[in-house]
Amino acid sequence: MDNGTPDGTPTADADAAAAADEGGKAPCERTYIDPAGPYAGGPWRNYFLILLDRIPTPIAVCRAHGEVLIANPAMAEQWGTAPGQLRGRNLLDLFEPRAKAQLDRLTEALRLGRRSRYPVEVRWRDGSDGSEREGELTIDPVGDPSVHPPALLALLRVGDPAPAPAPRAPASPVEARILALAAGGATTASIGTALGLTVDGVNYHLTRLARRWRVQGRTALVARAYVLGVLAADSWPPAPA
């Protein structure tokens, strides 16, 4: 059953009923918190929610124990879902704090009634590709100072994704020089003499290339080297690209 206002926000009566279902707590023990905070009254509430939707920074408003009351699209995008799907979930189910001490510091501050901003380094799995992301949640107690515990405003700063590893070159400089000499018809011994390698050293590099490129024979290696751009196509005698 959907108990709430037309825009999906639970009423105070609905919230009290939910509290009764959760162990028979009295309404005074589960005070309803409007996510619009000081803008909950009159037309300002709608303005607040519209502004929240348009802010590109991932934002969520939560209860003191972490239950999400409302999240904007930028926050929901981190899990590839809609904002409404995050409502009722707990921030600690969504984010993994990197340092428990940071979370303990926030918990103690809330217990003592302190109001300040508390950064918590977190990581999570991106909903679009499953990659691990890192960032920082800034937790800010908000709302009427007389309300205890307060609601929490959580802003997420998403860290830059780890740079993709540079693509591995198809051949090392030494391998490219070996291939260039081989393409020009040099024997294994003469290649070794030119590069200061033993015959076994030249064969070692050629064998590694053959396994990496999955080809057999020197002719196939040279042909593959031209296809991969290891050797310059317009140079004679053959030379590395």
CB-based contacts of 234: which residues, under 8 Å, 6+ apart?
A: none
Contacts 24+ apart (CB under 8 A), 47-53: 49/7, 53/83
Prior bond of 73 cis (ω within 30°): no
- With bands split at pLDDT 50, 70 and 90, how would you rate the model's confidence at 149? confident
Evaluate whether 122 touches 96 at the Cβ level (below 8 Å). yes
Per-residue pLDDT tens digits for 155-181: 999 887 656 555 667 889 999 999 999
Residue type for position 61: V
| Dihedral angle, C-alpha 228, 234, 237, 240, nearest 10 ° | -40
pLDDT of residue 112: 82
pLDDT of residue 19: 39
Residue among 58, 80, 73 nearest 130 (CA): 80
Positive or negative torsion for Cα 86, 52, 55, 149? negative
Per-residue pLDDT tens digits for 38-94: 555 556 667 777 888 888 999 999 988 889 999 999 999 988 888 889 999 998 888
- Distance from chain centroid for Cα 89: 19
> Got the DSSP string for 121-157?
EEEEE-TTT--EEEEEEEEEEES-TTSSSPEEEEEEE
Evaluate whether 171 touches 209 at the Cβ level (below 8 Å). yes
The first and second tokens of residue 108, run together, are 């103690």
Q: How far apart are the first and last CA of the chain?
A: 70
| pTM reported for the whole predicted model | 0.50
Average pLDDT, the chain: 79
The Cα-based distances of 46 to 49, 84, 125 in angstroms read: 5, 16, 32
Determine the number of helices (DSSP H) and then strands (DSSP E) in the chain. Answer: 10, 6
Evaluate whether 191 touches 202 at the Cβ level (below 8 Å). yes
Evaluate whether 118 touches 139 at the Cβ level (below 8 Å). yes
**Tokens 């799907």 map to which residue?**
85
pLDDT of residue 22: 40
